[in-house]
Structure 1
Amino acid sequence: MIKLYGSSMSRAGRSLWALEETGVKFEQVLVGETRKPEYLKVNPNGHVPTLDDNGTILWESMAINLYVAEKCGKAPLWPSTVEGHGACYQWSLWGMTEVETRLIEIFEHRIMLPAAQRDEKVALAAVEKLKAPLKVLDDHLRKSEYLLGKEFTIADLNVASVMSIARYIQLDLSSVPTAEKWLQKCLGRPANQRAGAMK
């Protein structure tokens, strides 16, 4: 059976969502301390999530999600064409490189760091840097219901999971209303609701 290490309140949440979308049976393993020797044998980075698929070990949430979608998912979650696969890779990596880094900066400097270490200038700069990629997303979604067309795919799941941080930092998305509507639709999916209800 597939084991997924990590809680829904970490990056493991997006992998729990992906597993829920496929309907595959899996076991969630909560990790109290990621730097203990027994866990470092599974993931030498000391992070979550980690996937153990009957001895095949993967870390990095986006890699896990693409693997899960390819192995366990069916079209449209995992597209049936190589071109569709390429688009899934593209949007997933875009979410990590263009959006997530900025969202994490805002989260750190407005919520996570101790008050004395927060720098609102860093947060505001990150908000500014997000404007261009969010416009790219909004413009694209004006032409199609989901990232690859009319149906929800792993690309939507991956980007929406990155964008979900916007809720916690109360990021104003009113300038990108199409993207905001798409995000709410993705996050409202039953599989995400089930994943979010896990520990």
Structure 2
Amino acid sequence: MNDLQLVRGLGEQIVERLREDIFSGRIAEGERLRETELARRFSVSRGPIREAIQQLTWEGVLETDRNRGAMVATSAPDEITELIIPLRCTIEKYAVRLFFDQLTAEDFQVWENILLKMKQACEARDFALISEHDIAFHRSLVTRSHSPDLLAIWSAIVSRVRRHFREAHLNYKNPLQIYEEHLPIIEAFKNQSLTEALQIIENHIE
């Protein structure tokens, strides 16, 4: 692996970590991100940090201003959220159609690992982690389609409704229900029932 690949891999890890922190609420809406502080946190130069900020700005997760720098973008208002959620559902169902005939044991291992972490977060009633793993699960569905354009659109949409995940989770008296609601999606995949999988995803999201 050459130096460019190492830098690119490190940059992707920073993007992923920041994205998770923002989507889970550990980094709040409107909070300013300072390159020097992030460079210190990740023990890197400001170059990879600057690239990570550019990537997250492109996804709509951050907003950048020449005077104020980078800040976490605010979630969409409720009336826009009602419009965005069906769009997110359409994207995830389309992604599933793209990969459904190519499922592998490795795919199931990825999803089961995410759901195991989600279950542990539910048992601990750690709602920040629950949101992180919930979003990670759905992101993995879109990622599996191997369509960068689809993933970019999905990321931009979810960045606007991330508060919806957290608020919805807080309505559960028993957080384990959040984990249990994801299991039928995997079961439909295992049963090779595309129609069932698409209907479950639609019901789950909407």
TM-score (norm 2): 0.26
Q: Which has the higher helix share?
A: 2
TM-score (norm 1): 0.26
